[in-house]
Amino acid sequence: MSFDTQDSVKGNDPGRVVISAALTGALTTRDQCEAIPYTPAEIAEEAAAAREAGAAVAHIHARTDEGDPTFSTETYREIYEEVRDRTDIIINFSTGAVDEPVETRTDYIREVSPDVAALNMGSMNYAKYSDRREDFVFDQVFDNSFSEIQAFLSAMNDAGVKPELECFDTGHIGNIRPLVKQGKLTHPIQFSLIMGVLGGIPATVENLAHQVRQLPDDATWQVIGISRDQWPLVGAALSMGGNVRVGLEDNFYLPEGEMAESNADLVARAARMARDVGREPATPDEAREIMEVPE
């Protein structure tokens, strides 16, 4: 069966794969991986290198120079300017947080206007458990009410920012229904299917196929596999006609188990895997057309 005849392709391009690079995250530290970028200039350098390796999108959480999460509009503005000075990669800002006011997280969306912004589509337990320690590494409730989702959508719509719907479970996909009815969310919709977070859907190929079946026919979608589950899911998504996200936010390791030295290392491997199944990494311009991201 060719990619063109697979229902799982949905609104994606069967010949081109959009590779996103999640550069830093909010919880990862240099104690875990020395390559994590913190400053706006470091994040921008990683974005430019990821672009050269085959990424079309950079997903970004702002950090202080010491590595702590920050939601400062000025820091996000500096990141945007530093990235744009170096590369044409599509800029995607995170809005996810625990115990951070919505107003803080919508301010930088309205003021800086990235190309894309992540929109978390439901509440959940959000945890990591260590089998070795037999204890939780962290244990949080990730609260994303419909009123908050609507506030983020309003900010994105006002700023002309494309929402990227982050769905950690099947119910999160179904949460689009009232938002589409209200006209706050319009087709085609971009989905990120996040798999492998404790509290969300487990990271299996069967579950990925199930998630994709729930999507609207014209949806564009990517898979985000957490930790070492990332590579089997990348392989499955590429074969299904999906887009993929890699990067040090989600996973530090190459498939062989060696720690990556940069985000570009992970992107380069995803690009190689894409070519192995007959697909080429999309350029940022091609990705804008595929996902209908405004200039």
Is the pTM higher than 0.85?
A: yes
Q: Are 141 and 123 a contacting pair, CB within 8 Å?
A: yes
Please give the pLDDT value at position 289.
98
Q: Which residue has the higher pLDDT, 177 or 127?
A: 177
Q: Is the pLDDT of residue 210 over 90?
A: yes
**Residue 197 CB contacts under 8 Å (≥ 6 apart), including other chains:** 124, 126, 127, 128, 168, 226
For the segment 67-90, the average pLDDT, to the nearest whole number, is 97
Q: Is the pLDDT of residue 178 over 80?
A: yes
> In 195-217, which positions are buried (b, 16+ CB within 10 angstroms) versus exposed (e)?
bbbbbbbebebebbeebbebbbe
Cα 125 to Cα 79, 86, 96, 142: the distances in Å are 30, 38, 14, 6
Q: Is the pLDDT of residue 276 over 60?
A: yes
**What would the pLDDT profile of 47-76 be if each residue is shown by its tens digit?**
999 999 999 999 999 999 999 999 999 999
| Residue pointed to by tokens 């244990």 | 139
Please give the pLDDT value at position 137.
87
Q: Is the pLDDT of residue 1 over 70?
A: no
For the segment 23-43, the average pLDDT, to the nearest whole number, is 95
Please give the pLDDT value at position 129.
86
Cα–Cα distance measured from residue 167 to residue 123, given in angstroms and rounded to the nearest whole number: 10
Assigned token pair, 74: 């000025």
Question: Vertex 272, ends 267 and 276: CA angle to 5°?
Answer: 145
Assigned token pair, 131: 């089998």
Cα–Cα distance measured from residue 56 to residue 283, given in angstroms and rounded to the nearest whole number: 5
The pLDDT-based confidence of 133 (bands split at 50, 70, 90) is: confident
Please give the pLDDT value at position 212.
98
Torsion, Cα 150 156 157 161, to 10 degrees, reads -150
Please give the pLDDT value at position 97.
87
**Residue 160 CB contacts under 8 Å (≥ 6 apart), including other chains:** 113, 294
Indicate the average pLDDT of the chain. 96
Cis peptide before 281 (omega within 30 of 0): no
Cα–Cα distance measured from residue 151 to residue 74, given in angstroms and rounded to the nearest whole number: 21
